[in-house]
């Protein structure tokens, strides 16, 4: 087999059973809830995802700031679906969707798998958007994955460690104790608030040469207010609460440059300002999965600037009623990119497929029920927007706590999350503070390797040849050892 040519295999267990084959791309809220909806259906479900886990993304910032472990918000997808006998989980990144032949191609470390489907649900989600400045990612990681959260944890706690060393040597460490969060949406607000609490409560007694409570936390956004989707009133309350917690708010500022030691911002009046900061966090935008482009090219469905694809009212693609797209990937009726859109869209798609198979009337157009939005500002303080109900403070925080606890998968994870919240919010402890150099630098290192992680792995079949060669070497070595012993030549000088 030629070098760098992936090995191809077929993975379509439903072909053997003759049952209707449902393929689901993604293991996020959309993918998981779609799969569960088929639990009692007479179909074969195949979930293809590029990670082994189902990620509860709204709590990633708590992993990054040492409150929760990654396992508590990212249980294994296989474990979740283990009792669902009609569901199969495949690990791999989907690289191609062939709508004409109803095939999905996925790859994992040079191993290519082709899976056939009768119905397809695409719930591949979205990644971080740098608005055309992808070079910013090297110095300002986003927060969309477990890898991102662990890298940020290493960068945040590592900055305090470097500052301690620098201060002990009499150096200026202001740039190490300045943390900049770009994006004043829910993710950015929650992240900035937690870094401020980390510095002022958790770490204040841990260092000898720096005062962590004097760390500078800056929240930057080009928008004129904090939390625009929550409305002006809650935005003002959120800003006041953040500033009380010690967060500096810089609005109307667009980030134009990012490097290792800081970033530059440009204001509407043309003024450019620089902030010296080693630790930058990007929470400013999202870009739909590249699979949206693949689907658009084959169907003619339009893409918006964020890469979201226009779908029919029932979430299907034009001229392809067997293909559904849900969650962050869709452009329909100004739906927000939140978990509930993905969950409800996934359930709607599954119900449509089941109705077709049963010969019953289809649900029709997707109707989204807005359950509202929530964001934590600081300890015991949150904002909630549910219809006409707008509130901020402790009651809102309790509501946030209950809702998020309900959506954490698994009783064990809920229990440990509650224990960690008690320690962090009532006390000042954060048990998940372990960091390593690998967490911080692994992403950058892999990006510099041709082929990424696949470049570190032997090609399919190549290892067999290497093992055979090694086996021959060992056999020859063993024969020579035996000959030396039998000929009594050990310790005898060669003639």
Residues labelled catalytic: 190
Residues 6+ apart with CB under 8 A from 416: 69, 72
For strand 286-288 and strand 126-128, is the pairing parallel, antiparallel, or unpaired? antiparallel
- Which of 444, 441, 435, 443 lies closest to 158, judged by CA? 435
Q: Is 88 left (phi over 0), alpha (psi -120 to 50) or beta?
A: beta
Q: What are phi and psi of 344, to 5 degrees?
A: -70, -40
What is the edge-to-edge ordering of all strands in the sheet holding 111-116?
7-10, 111-116, 103-108, 93-98
Token representation of residue 382:
């949150």
DSSP state of 303: B
CA distance 415 to 152: 25
Cα first-last separation, the chain: 47
Note whether 124 and 329 are within 8 A (CB). Answer: yes
Note whether 212 and 254 are within 8 A (CB). Answer: no
Cα distances from 24 to residues 94, 117, 132, 305, 338, in angstroms, run 11, 9, 30, 25, 19
> Across 199-347, where does the E strand assignment appear?
216-221, 247-251, 253-259, 262-267, 272-276, 279-282, 286-288, 309-310, 316-317, 320-325, 330-331
- Which of 155, 156, 178, 174 lies closest to 166, judged by CA? 174
CB atoms within 10 A of CB 393: 15
Token match 């003024």: residue?
271
Note whether 109 and 457 are within 8 A (CB). Answer: yes
CB atoms within 10 A of CB 317: 23
> Across 109-149, where does the E strand assignment appear?
111-116, 119-122, 126-128
Token representation of residue 97:
């969707």
CA distance 281 to 149: 10
Note whether 349 and 33 are within 8 A (CB). Answer: no
Token match 């109307």: residue?
252
């Amino acid at each position: 087999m030629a070098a760098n040519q992936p090995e191809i295999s077929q993975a379509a267990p439903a072909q053997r059973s003759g049952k209707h084959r449902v393929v689901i791309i993604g293991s996020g809220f959309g993918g998981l809830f779609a799969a569960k909806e088929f639990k009692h259906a007479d179909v074969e479900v195949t979930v293809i995802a590029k990670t082994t886990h189902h990620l509860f993304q709204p709590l990633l910032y708590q992993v990054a700031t040492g409150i929760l472990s990654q396992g508590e918000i990212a249980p294994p997808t296989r474990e979740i679906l283990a009792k669902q006998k009609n569901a199969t989980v495949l690990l791999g990144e989907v690289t191609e969707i062939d709508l004409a032949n109803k095939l999905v191609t996925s790859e994992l470390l040079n191993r290519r798998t082709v899976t056939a489907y009768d119905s397809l649900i695409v719930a591949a989600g979205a990644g971080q958007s740098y608005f055309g400045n992808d070079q910013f990612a090297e110095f300002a990681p986003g927060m969309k994955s477990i890898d991102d959260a662990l890298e940020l944890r290493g960068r945040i706690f590592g900055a305090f460690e470097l500052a301690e060393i620098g201060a002990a040597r009499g150096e200026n460490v202001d740039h190490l104790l300045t943390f900049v969060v770009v994006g004043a949406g829910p993710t950015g607000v929650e992240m900035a608030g937690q870094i401020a609490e980390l510095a002022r409560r958790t770490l204040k007694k841990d260092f000898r040469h720096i005062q962590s409570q004097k760390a500078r936390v800056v929240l930057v956004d080009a928008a004129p207010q904090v939390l625009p989707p929550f409305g002006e009133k809650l935005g003002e309350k959120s800003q006041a609460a953040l500033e009380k917690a010690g967060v500096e708010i810089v609005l109307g500022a667009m980030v134009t440059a990012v490097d290792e030691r800081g970033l530059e911002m440009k204001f509407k009046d043309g003024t450019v300002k620089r902030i010296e900061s080693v630790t930058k966090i990007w929470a400013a935008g999202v870009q739909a999965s590249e699979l949206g482009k693949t689907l658009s090219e084959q169907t003619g469905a339009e893409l918006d600037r964020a890469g979201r694809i226009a779908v029919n009212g029932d979430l299907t693609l034009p001229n392809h009623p067997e293909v559904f797209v849900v969650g962050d990937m869709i452009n329909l009726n100004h739906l927000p990119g939140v978990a509930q859109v993905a969950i409800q869209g996934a359930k709607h798609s599954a119900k449509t497929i089941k109705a077709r198979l049963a010969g019953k009337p289809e649900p029709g157009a997707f109707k989204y029920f807005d359950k509202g939005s929530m964001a934590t500002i600081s300890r015991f303080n949150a904002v909630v927007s549910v219809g006409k109900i707008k509130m901020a403070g402790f009651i809102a925080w309790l509501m946030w706590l209950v809702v998020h606890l309900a959506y954490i998968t698994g009783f064990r994870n809920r229990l440990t999350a509650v224990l960690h919240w008690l320690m962090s919010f009532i006390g000042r402890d954060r048990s998940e503070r372990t960091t390593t150099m690998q967490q911080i630098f692994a992403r950058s290192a892999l990006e510099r390797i041709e082929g990424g992680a696949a470049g570190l792995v032997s090609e399919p079949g190549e290892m067999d040849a290497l093992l055979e060669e090694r086996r021959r070497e060992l056999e020859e070595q063993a024969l020579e050892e035996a000959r030396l012993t039998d000929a009594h030549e050990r310790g005898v000088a060669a003639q």
